Amino acid sequence: MRRKELRMRIRILLAACAAISAILACRTASAAGYTDMIKLKSGKLISRCRVEGEDIDKVTYRDETSTQAKTVPQKEVDYVTFSDAPRELRNARRKFAAGNSYVEAIRDYQEALKARNVRMFWLGPECLYHIAESYLRLVPPRLKLAAETLSKLNKDYPNNKYMAKAQTTLADLYFKRSEFDKALEEFERIESATGADGEPRYEPVVHYNAAMGCVRCLVSLKRRDKALLKLKSVEIKARELGPSKDYEVKVQYVLIHIGNGEFEKAKKAATAVIRKAKYDYKNMPRSERAKGLRPLRSALAQCFNALGDAYMGAANAKDNYMEALVNYLYVVTLFDDSPEEHAKALLKAGLCYRQIKNELKAQLMWKELKQRYPGSAAARQIPRPK
């Protein structure tokens, strides 16, 4: 009996010693700063570490088992939990995620930036990027403030993990504000970015989108010859990235021809895209149609609208209004799943009806446009009633 009691007491004593050791180890780790955590996409968890750096390429950290710093590629990281996150940041994250408190989120992110004893290499980029995103999600969006915040982010933290998104968003903002020279500069910077190994820095689709952004800027700046050269250099990348990008390039050729006043070339190019889209759909395996149908429909909608524009812009436009109207009505009746193109078709169809002296149908087109797309650019271009 006494032996059993003695054994029980020894077990209790050993368990207590283990618990005390664990508590002391945690306190030692905390005192040394090993309280961060890195979650990898593979599911592996790197806990009780201290992150010493985080950028677009890698996360640098130390743990208790080694005196040397270790790195893990950023593309393998799911998320990093920092132990020195201030209370204001946690509040800001919650309000940003809620989706209806962006003004308060901006205020809390700005307060978090003032926190002391926090490693700014991670706090600064997170706060500035989400402040800019919050400005963009306000109604109406604060484009100027968002652009200023993203510029500060890229300037103060030139190698931050949000850099690809931040640069792309900034370029798009400049484009929306019609600052095409600044937008072109940003898009070119993204397209030509390389890593330490000399290879393209970002994912292929990021470089492709930047190149297409350059094309849009060059077109807007009336440098269409350079836009055509840039577009030719992008064709191979587009084919490698799949049908949606390939069609995007082909449609852009049509739009550039229209901008140059080359309406016959535009008609031929648009007709070729329409034929290719129909052929591709006909020969597409049924299992892939659900995925492949959207880029085909988007390309068709843009091309039918482009054909309408080509007929309207031709020298003998008076004789071509009916041809233009037919193409716009294709989009009106068949492609309402492409909102931007559908709104444009409603506007242009109304203009064609007015030119052929059918004011009633013109007003019906514009009434539908105002009802379905009240805040669109097309709705703002509706002419006044005669």
Q: Cα dihedral sign for 315, 321, 326, 331? A: positive
- Domain 264-386 indexed as CATH 2.60.40.10: no
Cβ-based neighbours of 104, under 8 Å, separated by 6 or more: 95
Give the pLDDT score at 386.
Answer: 67
Give the pLDDT score at 291.
Answer: 66
Give the pLDDT score at 159.
Answer: 85
State the maximum Cα–Cα separation within the chain, in Å, rounded to a whole number: 113
Q: How far is CA 181 from CA 148, 188, 214, in A?
A: 16, 11, 10
Q: How many other β-carbons are positioned within 10 Å of the β-carbon of residue 28?
A: 11
86: cis peptide before it, omega within 30°?
no
Per-residue pLDDT of the chain (386 residues; tens, 9 = 90+): 566 676 776 677 766 666 555 444 444 333 345 778 889 999 988 888 888 888 888 899 988 777 788 899 888 999 898 888 888 998 999 999 988 889 999 999 999 999 888 888 888 999 999 999 999 999 888 989 999 999 999 899 988 889 889 999 999 999 988 999 999 999 999 999 887 777 888 889 999 999 999 999 999 998 988 999 999 999 888 888 888 888 889 888 888 888 888 888 888 888 888 888 888 878 877 776 666 677 778 888 888 998 888 888 775 666 688 888 999 999 999 888 889 999 999 999 999 999 888 999 999 999 999 999 988 889 899 887 76
Give the pLDDT score at 30.
Answer: 39
What is the β-pairing status of strands 58-63 and 70-73? antiparallel
Angstrom distance (rounded) from CA 167 to CA 147: 10
Just give the CATH number of 28-83: 2.30.30.100
User: 38 - beta bridge partners?
Assistant: 46, 80
| Cα-trace Rg, the chain | 29
Q: Domains of the chain: which residue ranges?
A: 28-83, 85-161, 264-386
Give the pLDDT score at 2.
Answer: 65
